[in-house]
Structure 1
Amino acid sequence: MFHFFRNRFTFKMNMGCLSCLFLLAKTQRLEGITSLLLNGKHIVLADIEDCSLEEAEKELLYVQQKYSLSDIFIVSDRDRSYRAFCYSQVDYKTLLKILLDIPHLDMVFFNYTVKRKKATLRVSNKKDRQKQELVSVLKSYSAPIPDEVEKVIYDTGIVKKGIQISLGDDD
């Protein structure tokens, strides 16, 4: 049944203050880590999209200097898509400020960070993509990788855009 379905289909019906949403999409299971540590602090994780490596480095160097962050490790599995890991420990409010200072931050990533009160960044490889590789290290000072990093498994859509049908008011 699903072999001919190559897209993502969303059906949304609004009825006053209620909405009914149905999503049909191919998904994949991924592994990730979260920013929240047992001590209540956060490591800095960022998902950066739609820019060159040089732009990502420039934006990350800016926050590294502004917030006195440790070394930042940048990985990628395709052109114009980067994930950044920094093991400096900051409070939640500072994490949000750092993320908002990155112009090419993936806003879906940011919205989930706000919703969950912790950032989640994948460490496994996506289907039909190259293996993630370290593409840059922005040197500052060394910070240890925390022992208590939370590991998570989650599902995500393979295709991010598709057909959407909406009925009713969008107020």
Structure 2
Amino acid sequence: MPVLSVTKHRLNPGLSQTDPSLLKILPTLRSLAKTPIHFYAAIEDPSALLILSTWPSPSAHVSFTTTSQALLAPLSSQEWTEYMPLDTKTVSNLPLTAPILTISRAFLKPLPHPHQYFSKISALKTPIEEETAPYPSQEQDHSTIYKTRGRQTTYSEHPVYPTKPGRNEEQLGSPKNNPGRVIV
């Protein structure tokens, strides 16, 4: 069964997300993986690097991990990897090229807690989908004007990926002040 792997790396002290040595390795990893692989920088923690990729099975990812660890070891250390089983339809619908993703890692107590968690999260599905509606592509004009609850906000100073204003702009920050970005 296909899986989405989410791996968190911690960059070595003094290394930034835009360090040339890191940026040089990422395309190499992508070509060696022979599967879609995406590198994300954490907005709230500049030393965190998240690698999201889809694989035919966890064992396929484990085989690749040896290569990726050898290349990344001088620059970072792996903290954890999580696997999420996916059906073929789900894999094609993953927003892996979104400019900003929220990733939560939850640890649940035994039954009935997972069912309670699922029912509460299910109630949030519609608001989340509304807030994460299609976003501008990289090719679009980055001076896009977004209508947000009766007012207009222009984001023209963000050079790579504008983000759609969320329900609580003040909390999320604007792309100008708090840019999320995909590395490479």
TM-score range, shorter chain: 0.3 to 0.5
Q: 1 or 2, which has the higher helix percentage?
A: 2
Q: Which of structures 1 and 2 has the larger relative contact order (alpha carbons within 8 angstroms, sep 6+)?
A: 1
Higher strand share: 1
TM-score, structure 2 normalization: 0.35
What TM-score results when the alignment is normalised by the length of structure 1?
0.37
